[in-house]
Amino acid sequence: MASWVNIPEDSDFSLYNLPYGVFSTSQSSPRVGVAIGDQVLDLKTLSQAGVFNDLGFNTDSLQQATLNEYASQGNAVHRKVRQRLQELLKHDTSLGNVLRDDAQLRGRSLVPIDQVTMHLPMNIGDYTDHFIGLPHAQTSAEFLSPGKTIEQLIPSFWDAPAAYHGRSSTVVVSGTPVHRPKGQTRVDGVTISGLCQKLDFEVEFAAFISTGNEFGTSIPVDEAEDHIFGFVLLNDWSARDFQKNEIASFTSKNFATSISPWIVPLDALEPFRTAPVNGDRKLPDYLVQKMKQSAYDIPVKATLKVDDQSYHIAECNTNNVVFSVAQMIAHHSRGGCALRPGDLLATGTISGPAKEKEGCLMELSYSGTKAYTMSSIEEPSKTIQRTYLEDGDEVIFTAQLDRKDGLGKVGFGSCAGKILPGN
């Protein structure tokens, strides 16, 4: 799918993708845009120019500093806008006079991507992190309760999506540094208070809610995808020493969560569907989904950057989940919990079944008992070892999909965060 906008061969942002984000420049305040090649298209400017006036929705929603109001317009509106943008930007557009051939509007609405600052794309009211990755769950059971299986630790693991409620106030956009947290652990039965000594990352995938449900109602599983705005990569930073000291995740998780800045639309991921693990097992009726290809096959690379070297950590995949996002939504709202535009739902760690596919250092280093060796991407003969993260380490997640049919690549941008010393 060719565009008159320059799209480098290795770009995440093809005309087929068109992910949403919120950006600013030295000359402009935060606003809604979409990424296309090496440019960001300013949707506030296009909306003010009347480009979407005939599509029958509240175009003021594209003139806000977050995507919440636009997301709440619903997926039918999002598809209309997506189709309009693809027509505006394609090489042989029938709407050349609207943008391509209007030098003034084109100059005001296209901004080089290397000149923008990215912000959190949505105002996140609530954040729920799930625990539905099978290999990670199996390893975590041994970490949390040695000798127990995941079924013994969580008897309902195969019957309902397990989750905990995270801290939305500490969800940050990619590139935001993370300070080493302070908290409590126990050594030989004695409480120790201080800086985290076992700081970890977790490779995750997450969905933003578009339209919610009324308090006291639930969302049927076969309608749940209509409530998904799009997807991001997510790093659930974790303090493993604090986690061992807590009944449920609290200070071990609430200090920071990083997300990639661009929200990839549901429709852009349609070609990459797959079934959840053991998806044909018997489930409670409200979780039985007609759509069998309800998960995604998305490889996610984790990289460690130290000084001027980048080291390959692992390659995980979103296909290692035992529930779909639709099933997560159906279960979350089952008791009448109201979901709202901008709510964030994460999968939990999406480790694979082999060492090179594990999505956190807890797994890679055998709970810190054996240093994990990584090779430099630039100089393969150079290696580095980690049991847990050190100050100055930067962890970066990326994912890029190729349709292989000429329509271009689909990516999320990077989800990155650098560890700074504790305050």
What are the residue numbers of the active site?
A: 136
Q: Confirm whether residue 129 is marked as ligand binding.
A: yes
Starting at the earlier edge strand, list the strands of the sheet with 39-42.
110-112, 39-42, 28-36, 20-25, 117-119
Q: Confirm whether residue 412 is marked as ligand binding.
A: no
Q: Is the dihedral of CA 341, 83, 410, 266 positive or negative?
A: positive
Stretch (H or E) spanning 85? helix 75-89
Query: Residue 65 and residue 24: Cα distance in Å, rounded?
Result: 10
Give the DSSP letter string of 192-208.
EEEE-SSEE--EEEEEE
Buried b (16+ CB within 10 A) or exposed e, 141-156: bbbeeeeeebeebbee
Cβ 78 vs Cβ 90: under 8 Å: no
Q: Confirm whether residue 92 is marked as ligand binding.
A: no
Q: Confirm whether residue 253 is marked as ligand binding.
A: yes
Stretch (H or E) spanning 326? helix 325-332
Q: Confirm whether residue 257 is marked as ligand binding.
A: yes
Per-residue tokens: 321: 């989940």
- With vertex at residue 94, the alpha carbon angle to CA 93 and CA 96, rounded to the nearest 5 degrees, is 70
Query: Residue 366 and residue 355: Cα distance in Å, rounded?
Result: 10
Binding site per annotation, positions for Ca(2+): 129, 202, 204, 236
Binding site per annotation, positions: 129, 131, 202, 204, 236, 243, 253, 257, 349
Binding site per annotation, positions for substrate: 131, 243, 349
